[in-house]
């Protein structure tokens, strides 16, 4: 039998041998800049559009609208001279740590009122403004071009500040790839350029701060080779537009509010140090 004193010496010797901790490499987001570019589709709820100006003050109720995506072609989406035509998104931001990021960017959506739909009209229109639609009774109208063409196609621009939380779902063994789930919120001004023809009169207006938008979002953030990422995002929110420019004449304006859902896919770059070693116990 080994004496107790010898056992104690052996135990102390074993404890004094350094144990090599396992080390893994992970994709890290902390203190890194990022920038991305991509494209979107959007859907909108029906809305009431209130038009006001000299000789008229009326509301079109439950108006349906849709987006207007550009037909896909390589040149239409990726040629430098055409990249501002599709429904696009761009954003720059900073990761405060591996779980939180702040960013600012633009969602260039498009909003087009559907032509030839039948809607309810309330309010008044004077004969001086339109003999065809003059009156003050509630009735149904068809949104033909001689009555209204209404588009935020250049576009429905939401300039937002986003705050997102990131949860790591997976990390590759070599520390170069990772997948995160993100959830967050956004808010900011809406700066449309609205193309309107009301009673046959109107222009493609200048850019104008017409209101604001806010909402929430969820997505999947996939990092590749530690410096490139692909993000797929779904957003839902509310847009309030109390000051839409219409015919281009003083005193002519519109207001509306609606909810929207947007899906986008963006490709971006991570700038800064990443893949720092982390000890695993």
Residue 17 lies in a domain: no
Average the pLDDT over 134-156 and give the result. Answer: 95
**Is pLDDT of 65 > 80?**
yes
Residue 29 lies in a domain: yes
Return the closest-CA partner of residue 189 out of 106, 114, 72: 106
- Residue pLDDT, tens place only, 70-95: 887 777 777 888 888 899 999 999 99
Which range (7-16, 106-115, 150-159, 206-215) has the least confidence? 7-16
**Is pLDDT of 274 > 80?**
no
Q: Let me know: does 186 contact 219? Beta carbons within 8 Å.
A: no
Q: Let me know: does 178 contact 95? Beta carbons within 8 Å.
A: no
Residue 7 lies in a domain: no
Q: What gap in Å lies between CA 124 and CA 5, rounded to an integer?
A: 105
Report CA 64 to chain centroid distance, whole Å: 21
Residue 8 lies in a domain: no
Q: How confident is the model at residue 109 (pLDDT cuts 50, 70, 90)?
A: very high
Asked, as a colleague might, if the bond just before 155 is cis with ω within 30 of 0, I would say yes
Q: How confident is the model at residue 3 (pLDDT cuts 50, 70, 90)?
A: low
Q: What gap in Å lies between CA 69 and CA 142, rounded to an integer?
A: 25
The predicted pLDDT at position 89 comes to: 97
Q: What gap in Å lies between CA 123 and CA 77, rounded to an integer?
A: 43
Residue 256 lies in a domain: yes
Q: Where are the alpha helices (DSSP H) in 39-108?
A: 74-78
Measured over the CA atoms of residue 79, residue 80, residue 85 and residue 90, the dihedral's sign is positive
Q: How confident is the model at residue 5 (pLDDT cuts 50, 70, 90)?
A: low
Residue 79 lies in a domain: yes
DSSP state of 133: T
Number of structural domains found in the chain: 1
Residue 176 lies in a domain: yes
Q: Where in the sequence is the domain holding 154, given as residue range(s)?
A: 22-280
Burial 93-121 (b: 16+ CB within 10 A, else e): bbbeebeebebebbbbbbbbbeeebebeb
Residue 16: strand, helix, or coil: helix
- Residue pLDDT, tens place only, 17-27: 443 444 568 99
Residue 245 lies in a domain: yes
DSSP state of 235: E
Q: Mean pLDDT over all residues of the chain?
A: 90
- Residue pLDDT, tens place only, 192-240: 999 999 999 999 999 999 999 999 999 999 999 999 999 999 999 999 9
Distances from the Cα of 226 to the Cα of 57, 229, 272, angstroms: 57, 8, 10
């Amino acid at each position: 039998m080994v004496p107790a004193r010898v056992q104690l010496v052996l135990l102390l010797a074993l404890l004094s041998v350094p144990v090599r901790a396992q080390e893994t490499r992970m994709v890290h987001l902390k203190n890194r800049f990022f920038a991305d570019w991509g494209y979107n589709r959007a859907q909108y709820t029906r809305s009431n559009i209130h038009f006001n100006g000299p000789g008229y003050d009326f509301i079109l109720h439950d108006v349906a609208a849709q987006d207007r995506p550009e037909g896909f072609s390589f040149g239409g989406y990726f040629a430098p001279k055409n990249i501002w035509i599709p429904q696009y998104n761009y954003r720059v931001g900073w990761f405060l740590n591996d779980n939180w990021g702040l960013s600012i960017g633009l969602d260039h959506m498009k909003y087009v009122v559907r032509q030839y739909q039948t809607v309810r009209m309330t309010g008044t229109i004077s004969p001086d403004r339109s003999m065809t639609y003059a009156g003050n009774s509630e009735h149904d109208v068809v949104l033909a071009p001689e009555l209204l063409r209404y588009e935020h196609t250049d576009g429905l621009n939401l300039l937002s500040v986003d705050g997102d939380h990131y949860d790591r779902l997976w990390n590759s063994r070599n520390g170069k790839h990772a997948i995160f789930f993100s959830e967050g919120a956004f808010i900011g001004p809406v700066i449309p350029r609205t193309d309107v023809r009301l009673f046959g009169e109107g222009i493609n207006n200048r850019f104008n701060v017409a209101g604001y938008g806010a909402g929430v979002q969820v997505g999947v953030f996939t990092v590749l080779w530690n410096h490139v990422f692909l993000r797929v995002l779904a957003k839902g929110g509310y847009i309030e537009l109390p000051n839409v420019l219409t015919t281009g004449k003083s005193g002519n304006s519109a207001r509306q509010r609606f909810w929207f859902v947007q899906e986008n896919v963006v490709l971006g770059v991570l700038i800064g140090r990443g893949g720092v070693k982390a000890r695993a116990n």
